[in-house]
Each structure stands twice: as C-alpha cells, then as structure tokens.
C-alpha cells in the first residue's frame, strides 16, 4: 500500500479542446501534490512517504475521445510541463465492467441502507429503486377527500449536526441498451479501488497493468489494433482498466486518497461520500489493510469514507 493516492485530474473530452487550460490545471494540481507530500512527510516524522498519482479518463459517458496514443501524450506532456508525473491512468468505463466482472454491480450489491427510526417501509429498497438517500425524504402526501390539509414534513439527514443537508443519490437508470450507471456510482467504485478494499472471491480487484506489457504491434504479442510504432491500442476499449505509466511508481492502492478536482465535481463527490459510507466492503481486506497500517505506526479511521479527502479548484 502507498500512504496516499493523489488523483490529479478527471478528463472530459472538452478539456482537450483547451490545452492551455489543461496545462494550468496541471500546474495547480502539481502545487497541491508537492504541498500534500511535504505535509505527509512531517506527519510521518520525516520518513519518506509513499505517494502515487493517478488520472481518470472518462470513456464511459464520452465515446468521442481521441485515440489513447494522442490523449495519453497530451496528458503526460501537460503534467511534465508542470513538474508532475502521472503514475497510473485509468478508464472510467472499467468502473462499470472490469473484463468479465460486473464491478459496479458488485459494489451496488454491497450497499447497506439502514432506515432511521420512524420510517414506515413505504419506500422501495435501494436494489429495486436505484436511489440512495442519506436520510429520510419528505413523505409523499396522501390526500383524503374532504380531509384537513396535510402538514408538510421536512427531509432529515441521518448524521446531521444541527441542521440537515439531505441528499438522494441516483445510482443508475435502466435503458433499452441496459443499465446505465450514474457518475457518482462510478466515481465511488473508483475511490474504493484506490483504497484497495474491493475483492472478487478473495482476489484483489484493480491490479494495474505495466505499460511495458503493451508490446508494440509489430512484435505480434499485444492485443488490439494499433499503427506502426505505437505503444497503445487504437481503441479505449482495448486498453487495460488501469495502466501503470511509471515503472518506479509506488503502489496504486493507498491507505488514504486525495482528489484534486474542479469545483464542478463538488456535488458528485458529495454523492460519492454517501455511497461509500453505505458500502460494506470485504471484511478480510479491510482488516488486512488496518493491520498493515498499524505495523507502520498509523491508525486509520474506522469508516472508509473518512479516508477520502478533496481539494476543489475554482477557475484559475
């Protein structure tokens, strides 16, 4: 495990049309990476922290992305100009399916919603409805002919302090083409992958594939179509779910995560925290990670969601 996984960006297709803006975002992210690493070094008593960086490409909601060869070169160059190194690059579509594994479905099956006292069971379960609240929504009024006006009841957050911030998160919708997972659901899977807590029959999910394993096409060993001399396949669907770009990188999974994102993602990540706070991951994985941290003199928060941190950036 690394001590910290830092997400230095989340790429949309529109970002590639603004190369200067992409470079500015990378420069700002680099400052946060350096500052966070320095703060972590002090927290560890001067020991060198194991910090890995990662970048998520949205090939799930956007099918018009440039081919991997061009896009990866653009991202890596922008990062290098800012004095930043990208260790891992992941595809958002792999948070839906990772090879034959229905990864988003596996995580959805581990969501446990605990209705607070006072609920009457009228709301369908999360597995049927596809919506996950962080409390009790306003009850739907049931009018009675000639009856007295019904009193409005406000929604209530489960873990509120003095006031409630109620949120109802859409996890998916069903379309003629099949189930379409929401951005918060896929982002929650992404965060859990970075924490290293997902398992499939005891096996760790999301082991990165080294870039060296992508043998050029002329050698005849790598799957997928690609042009002469190219390192990467022509289509994103043929790329590894998580690619290790830096051979010397510290491990992809980490005890804690930090995501440096545009402020536009604030609502999505609020929803991500609601989802991650309701997921019950593999108990053996959680216990193994806890013991590993303790051997290094670290105490991790009991709740997974408390291991997630954010830096939201406004327009530069």
**pLDDT per residue over 152-196, tens digit each?**
777 878 877 778 889 999 999 988 888 999 999 999 999 999 999
Q: Do 259 and 166 meet the contact criterion of CB atoms below 8 Å apart? A: no
Q: Do 251 and 52 meet the contact criterion of CB atoms below 8 Å apart? A: yes
Q: What is the pLDDT of residues 32-70, one digit of tens each?
A: 999 999 999 998 888 999 999 999 999 998 878 889 998
Q: Which two tokens stand for residue 253?
A: 């999974």
Q: Do 130 and 173 meet the contact criterion of CB atoms below 8 Å apart? A: yes
Average pLDDT, the chain: 87
Give the Cα separation of 223 and 68 in Å (integer).
14
- Which helix (H) or strand (E) element contains residue 52? strand 51-57
- Structure confidence at residue 219 (pLDDT): 41
Please, which residues bridge with residue 308 across strands? 257
Residue 87: which of 250, 298, 262 has the closest Cα? 250
Query: Where residue 118 falls among pLDDT bands split at 50, 70, 90?
Result: low
Longest CA pairwise span in the chain (Å)? 81
Provide mean pLDDT across the span 189-209.
Answer: 95
- Structure confidence at residue 274 (pLDDT): 95
Q: For the residues of 60-126, what is the DSSP string, one character each?
A: SS---PPPHHHHHHHHHHHHHHTT----EEEEGGGGTEETTEEHHHHHHHTB---PPTT--S-SPPH
- Structure confidence at residue 93 (pLDDT): 95
- Structure confidence at residue 160 (pLDDT): 74
- Structure confidence at residue 314 (pLDDT): 78
Give the Cα separation of 178 and 144 in Å (integer).
39
Provide mean pLDDT across the span 203-216.
Answer: 86
Q: What is the DSSP letter of 140?
A: P
**Residue 102: pLDDT above 90?**
yes
Q: Please give the residue that has the higher pLDDT: either 14 or 152.
A: 152
Give the Cα separation of 152 and 75 in Å (integer).
51
Q: Which two tokens stand for residue 266?
A: 């604030």
Residue 13: which of 52, 66, 53 has the closest Cα? 66
Lowest-confidence range among 112-116, 240-244, 290-294, 295-299? Answer: 112-116
Q: Please give the residue that has the higher pLDDT: either 217 or 174.
A: 174
- Structure confidence at residue 220 (pLDDT): 42
Q: Which two tokens stand for residue 3?
A: 């001590």
- Structure confidence at residue 121 (pLDDT): 61
Q: What is the pLDDT of residues 257-301, one digit of tens each?
A: 999 998 889 999 999 999 999 999 999 999 999 999 999 989 999
Query: Where residue 226 falls among pLDDT bands split at 50, 70, 90?
Result: low
- Structure confidence at residue 122 (pLDDT): 64
Please, which residues bridge with residue 157 across strands? 135
**Residue 110: pLDDT above 50?**
yes
Calculate the alpha carbon distances from 2 to 97, 101, 228, 242, 245 in Å: 25, 25, 36, 16, 16
- Structure confidence at residue 129 (pLDDT): 84
Give the Cα separation of 55 and 92 in Å (integer).
10
- Structure confidence at residue 135 (pLDDT): 82
The region, left, alpha or beta by phi > 0 then psi within -120 to 50, assigned to residue 202 is left
Q: What is the pLDDT of residues 124-147, one digit of tens each?
A: 778 888 999 888 877 766 655 555
- Structure confidence at residue 283 (pLDDT): 92
Q: Please give the residue that has the higher pLDDT: either 164 or 16.
A: 164
State the CB neighbour count (10 A cutoff) for residue 74. Answer: 17
- Structure confidence at residue 222 (pLDDT): 46
């Amino acid at each position: 495990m690394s001590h910290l996984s830092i997400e230095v960006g989340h790429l949309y297709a529109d970002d590639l049309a603004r190369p200067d803006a992409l470079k500015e975002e990378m420069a700002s992210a680099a400052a946060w990476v350096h500052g966070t690493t320095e703060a972590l070094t002090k927290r560890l008593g001067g020991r060198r922290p194991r910090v890995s960086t990662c970048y998520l490409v949205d090939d799930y909601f956007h099918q018009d992305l440039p081919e991997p060869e061009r896009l990866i070169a653009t991202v890596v160059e922008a990062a290098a100009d800012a004095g930043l190194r990208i260790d891992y690059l992941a595809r958002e579509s792999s948070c839906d399916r990772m090879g034959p594994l229905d990864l988003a479905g596996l995580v959805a099956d581990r969501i446990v919603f605990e209705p607070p006292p006072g609920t009457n069971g009228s709301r369908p379960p999360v597995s049927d409805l596809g919506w996950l609240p962080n409390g009790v929504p306003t009850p739907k009024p049931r009018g009675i002919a000639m009856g007295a006006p019904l009193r409005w009841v406000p929604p209530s957050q489960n873990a509120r302090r003095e006031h409630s911030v109620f949120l109802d998160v859409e996890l998916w919708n069903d379309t003629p083409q099949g189930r379409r997972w929401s951005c918060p659901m896929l982002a929650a899977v992404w965060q859990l992958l970075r924490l290293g807590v997902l398992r499939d029959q005891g096996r760790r999910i999301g082991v990165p594939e080294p870039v060296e394993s992508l043998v050029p096409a002329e050698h005849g060993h790598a799957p997928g179509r690609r042009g002469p001399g190219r390192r990467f396949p022509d289509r994103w669907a043929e790329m590894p779910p998580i690619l290790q770009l830096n051979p010397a990188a510290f491990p992809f999974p980490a005890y804690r995560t930090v995501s440096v994102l545009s402020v536009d993602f604030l609502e999505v990540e609020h929803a991500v925290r609601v989802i991650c706070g309701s997921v019950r991951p593999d108990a053996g994985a959680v216990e193994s990670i806890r013991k590993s941290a303790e051997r290094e003199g670290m105490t991790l928060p009991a709740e997974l969601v408390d291991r997630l941190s954010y830096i939201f950036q406004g327009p530069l």
